[in-house]
Every structure is written in C-alpha cells, then in structure tokens.
Structure 1
Amino acid sequence: MNKKFVGTGVALVTPFNKDLSVDHKSLANIVENNIKNGTDYLVISGTTGESVTITAEEKKEIIKTISNTNQGRLPLVLGIGGNNTLSVVEEIKNTDFTGIDAILSVSPYYSKPTQEGLYQHFKTVAEASPVPVILYNVPGRTSKNMLPETIISLANDFENIIAVKEAAGDMHQYLQLLKDKPKNFLVISGDDDLALSVVLAGGAGVISVIGQALPKEFAKMIKLGLEGNVKDAYFLHYKLMEITGLIFSENNPSGIKAVFESLNICDATVRLPLVEATAELKQKITQALKEFK
C-alpha cells in the first residue's frame, strides 16, 4: 500500500493579491502551517487551487513556491487533468516531476464520455505518467459519474493507478469501492463532510479543503479515525461540522478563502467567473470560527 497517501492531504488554494496576481508569500505560509500541524501530503493545482484559471507559467511558479517551502518534508501531488486526453498527455510529457510523488487526474468534464471512454482516457493517462496516478471522480463538477466498476477495472489493470479521490457524495458508492477494490488500492474521500465515515469504513483518508485552514484539528480527526477511535474522532467531526458546511455553501474555493481572510492568512480574492464569498457568508464564517476556537 502506498502509505504516503494515507491520512490527510489538502487541496491547496492559490492565494491572489488584490490585482489578481499570485500571492506567493501567503501560499508559502499556508504550506508551512500545514507541514507543522499534522497534514500528511499536499495537493497542488486541484479545483480548490483554481486550476482552470491559472496559466501554465503561473502553475510552474506555484509548484516552485510549494516545493521550495516544503523542502521534501511532505509528499506532493500535482493536479494534471482535463477533457482533452491528448493535451493532458502533452502536459504530462512537458512536466518536470522532480519532487512530485503522484498526479491527481480529474475525470473529463463537459464531454460526458461513456464508462468505456473514461476507461480509455485514464488508460492513456496512466501509460503516459512517470509517477503514480490518483483518479478523481467528482460528478458534481464533471456531470458524469465514473462508476465503481470502471474505477476497479482501472485499479486492476494499471499498476500505477494507486488510488481514487472519490467525491460523488454518495456513501453507498464509497462502500461499493471499499468492498471491491484490490488490496493495496486507496479509496480517498473527496468529501470533507463524509471523510470520517469513509475512513471508519476502511478508506485511506481524505484530500480536504477545510483541512488546510484548520490542519491541527482536521488531521487529528482523520488520524483518530484511522486508529479506530470513533468517540474522539466524532467529537472533532461535530466540532468541525458547521464550518465545513459553510465553506461549500456558495462555491469552492470562495468559502475557504473567506476562512483564510478571517484568519488573516490571505486575501479572499478569486478569479472570474468565481466571485468572493458574500458579506453574509463571511460574517457566518467569522462567527463559526470564533465558536470553533
């Protein structure tokens, strides 16, 4: 089993300055804070990192800032995915994987391929990737659910497909994956609200959004879950429940950036077509954080 990706991974935000340029200083601070407070690995340039509005040049600079701050302390996962299989392969070929431990590759969005299309897409990605591949199923964003049987087929057929970040928000689907998966294949929760339940059912952990702002408590909850300490884990789950719900109530990453703004860690600025969290949501988040502390 790939122990590197057991526990709490966080899908890092890309902080922006008011002029929409990347705020590398705040990014380095977020990374350092996560390393010191129990996060197990870092995910670069996922949905939460606003990957769709980041240029190729900016992506390189973001990787550099995170790598330089991390200094090899935690495993790094890089988001490389899309709905044009050939351009995903092209990006893989042109990426310097020094210090990168795996890629996280999202299921093709917008095109709505069949299950066979999804299988062939990831077969092509796996064959091109020099590092392990974590599949990412998020039907709420892609408008196509990658079924457990497709994921299991890929897991059985390709040695370097080592895990899935499952984010269909469907507990039955998680259980199906956990029941049928090959022994060393990891089922990672992509739903913060279900993460503990998934871990207790046999999941490997989570790639979290809220975890990067409250790493100490969130990582501890997952660790307790992995140890089978249900009572203490659920105590933290209930404590985190309100703030976790709030950050997704408008959109991600506007919600988590509002949390960071409230904690004076970075600005709440996002790039269009996203807009900042509303004043009402920001107020609720500030209040929830006060109660949480």
Structure 2
Amino acid sequence: MSMQFQGVMPATTTPFAEDGTIDHGFAARHAQWLIEHGATGIIALGSLGEGATLSRDEKLALCKTLVEAGRPTQTPVVAAISALSTEEAAALARGAQQVGCRGLMVLPPYVHKGPWAEIRAHFEAVIEATELPCMLYNNPIAYGTDLLPEQIAELAGAHERVVAVKESSGDLRRVTAVRALLGERLRLFAGLDDMAFEAGSIGADGWVAGLVNALPAESIAVFELARSPSAAHRAQAAAIYHWFLPLLRLDCVPDFVQRIKLVQAEVDMGNERVRAPRAPLSGSERERTLALVREHLGRRPAVPTAAEIRTMIAEVSA
C-alpha cells in the first residue's frame, strides 16, 4: 500500500520500562493517541527516538508494534534508517519493509563524513534496498553532513522512490531552494520544531515534529492553520505559535530527548526514562525546564481539533 508524505508526522520518542527495555504497550497507546489527534504518520527510530541506542532487533520489534497500532486507521509508519555502515542501513531498511513500514526516512551514515560520492552511494544503497518511498533527511547540525539542494535534486532525479525531504538545517531558504529546483516533485518537510510556522507559511507540505509527542493538538493547529489560504487562520496560527515557541525550542538543544520526555511526563503521556549514555535532566537545569513547561501549560490556548481545521480550511478554499 502506498503512502502520502504530508501533514504533521511525529518523530516519536521511544518509551522505556523500569528495566530499560522498550515499553511496547505504551508505544502503541502513544501512537494511537497521536493518530487520534490528527497525526498523518508515525516516524520511528530517529534521533528523538534514541535510535542509535537500539539494536536492530529492538528497532524492528518497535516498528512492528507501531504498525499494528496504526493498522485500524491505516496510518503509515516510517522507519528512520541510520547506521554506522551502509550494509547495516540497507539491512535495517529491508527489515522495516518486512514488518510493515510503508516508508523510510533515510539519514546519512553515522560518524563518517566523506565526500559526496561516498555519501551519495550510501543514500542510494538504502533507497534501492526496498520498494518503499523514501524521505531524505538533511540535518547538518546533528550529523555533520549537509545535503545541498543540488544534491537532493540529483538523488530525486535518479530515483523515483525519493519522494520527500526533511529539512533540518534551520535555513528556510533551503525549502524554497529545493522547490525552485524541483517544483512539486518532492514533498518538503520542516525538520525543526522552531521553524514549523515559518515553513508552513511558505508552502512546506509537512512537519516532522518533536513536541507533538506531548502536545499534538497545538502542533497540528499551528502547522495546518499556517498553511491555510485565510489570513485570519494564519493569524490564529501565529498566536498559538507565539505561546508555543519557548516549548518548541526544547527540540533544538543537545539534550532535546530528555526535555521532550519531561514535557510528556508533565502531560501524563510518558515518562522521563532515557537510555544511557543519556540521563534524565537533574538539578537546576531540570528545575528551570519544569518551571518553563508548567508556566506555559498553565495557560494553554484553546485550539481547534484536526477535524475542525479541515472544515475551516475547506470552507475558505471552496
């Protein structure tokens, strides 16, 4: 079954039980909760999902759990594909297809920062490993490899299965640069939480989001209203975004996993457990973050549901 890359797709956190194993029961409930709020897909195994700390067996077992969780609504699961070696990345891609994932988010190789010829060969090996549609992931801040618009166009021109790109350089000009080169050939996604409104306003098709793990209604309202043709809707999105932005910036710091899990715990949708070498926030840093989170949660704005937003936009587009 094919899938569409569009809308708000959570890059989900990986929940851990007290013994350090993956809590599959909670992972399923969390995914279903996100889908109920309007998530258009679930992206697993990314950096927010602590993918680098999971074994291949753990990754595939988690993907299988999420596929089953999304099956009643036919919500697709996308596996983030990252590894130290190209062989391991391709094997993980094949395994993700076997357990029912309907798309891949392809990262550059971990650690190795070689010339474009090597990076391109790595991407191509993963793209060609399955029949699944692929989203390219550009995050030079985290991975040290910058996938330039011209290189994205090169891969898209050579591979029909390249259908989307997640842009996390933080430079909004990259979104317009890819659009200028490829038109509507690729679906363009914001990849950082604190660029969601801006990206939606200039025509991004989707957002791979982080704080959505704790605040799905607000996340979907910001992005979808920002994309509306109505100036009133965009103003409504801007007002929600103004409230949301200090929390969204928790996604853009080195310990973003711990901070987003802390927000999940505060809304009673998760816990703070992370896998070593990470450790939960502690001391004054945790106190400052909690104060920020509680202050903003204490004045959460009323937001329309995903269904209401669809109706609102349909009415002004008619």
Normalised by the size of structure 2, how large is the TM-score? 0.86
Structure 2 match to 1:289: 297
Aligned residue for 1:187, secondary structure, equals strand
Cα distance in 1, alignment partners of residues 28 and 91 from structure 2 = 28
1:164-189 Cα shifts (integer Å, max 9, x gaps):
11101112222211221242311111
Aligned residue for 1:253, secondary structure, equals helix
Judged with a 3 Å threshold, the aligned counterparts in structure 2 of structure 1 residues 98 and 57 are, in CA distance, closer, same or farther, namely closer
Judged with a 3 Å threshold, the aligned counterparts in structure 2 of structure 1 residues 170 and 39 are, in CA distance, closer, same or farther, namely same
Q: Which runs of 5+ in 2 are unaligned?
A: 302-318
Aligned residue pair count: 292
1:208-249 Cα shifts (integer Å, max 9, x gaps):
001121111211221112223421221221121111123444
Judged with a 3 Å threshold, the aligned counterparts in structure 2 of structure 1 residues 249 and 282 are, in CA distance, closer, same or farther, namely farther
Cα distance in 2, alignment partners of residues 20 and 252 from structure 1 = 19
1:57-104 Cα shifts (integer Å, max 9, x gaps):
222321222122222521211112224112212223344435321101
1:243-254 mapped onto 2 (5 Å cutoff): 243-254=247-258
Structure 1 match to 2:304: none
Cα distance in 2, alignment partners of residues 251 and 141 from structure 1 = 12
Cα distance in 2, alignment partners of residues 194 and 250 from structure 1 = 17
Percent identical pairs in the alignment equals 25
Aligned residue for 1:104, secondary structure, equals strand
1:1-293 mapped onto 2 (5 Å cutoff): 4-73=4-73, 74-229=75-230, 230-278=234-282, 279-280=286-287, 281-292=289-300
Q: Is the 8 A contact 1:109 1:144 kept in 2?
A: no
How much is the aligned-residue C-alpha RMSD, in angstroms?
1.9
1:104-154 Cα shifts (integer Å, max 9, x gaps):
111223211222222222122222222011111111111121111101111
1:29-79 Cα shifts (integer Å, max 9, x gaps):
211211111111110111111111112222232122212222252121111
More deviation in 64-73 or 7-16?
64-73
More deviation in 70-79 or 157-166?
70-79
User: Could you tell me which amino acid in structure 1 is paired with residue 22 of structure 2?
Assistant: V
More deviation in 201-210 or 62-71?
62-71
Q: Is the 8 A contact 1:155 1:182 kept in 2?
A: no
Tell me which of the two structures has the higher relative contact order, counting C-alpha pairs closer than 8 angstroms and 6 or more residues apart.
1
1:252 Cα deviation from its structure 2 partner: 2.2
Cα distance in 2, alignment partners of residues 265 and 114 from structure 1 = 42
Cα distance in 1, alignment partners of residues 88 and 28 from structure 2 = 29
Cα distance in 2, alignment partners of residues 206 and 136 from structure 1 = 12
Q: Is the 8 A contact 1:9 1:206 kept in 2?
A: yes
Cα distance in 1, alignment partners of residues 189 and 46 from structure 2 = 15
Q: Is the 8 A contact 2:80 2:105 kept in 1?
A: yes
Aligned residue for 1:146, secondary structure, equals coil
Cα distance in 2, alignment partners of residues 248 and 168 from structure 1 = 11
Q: Which runs of 5+ in 1 are unaligned?
A: none
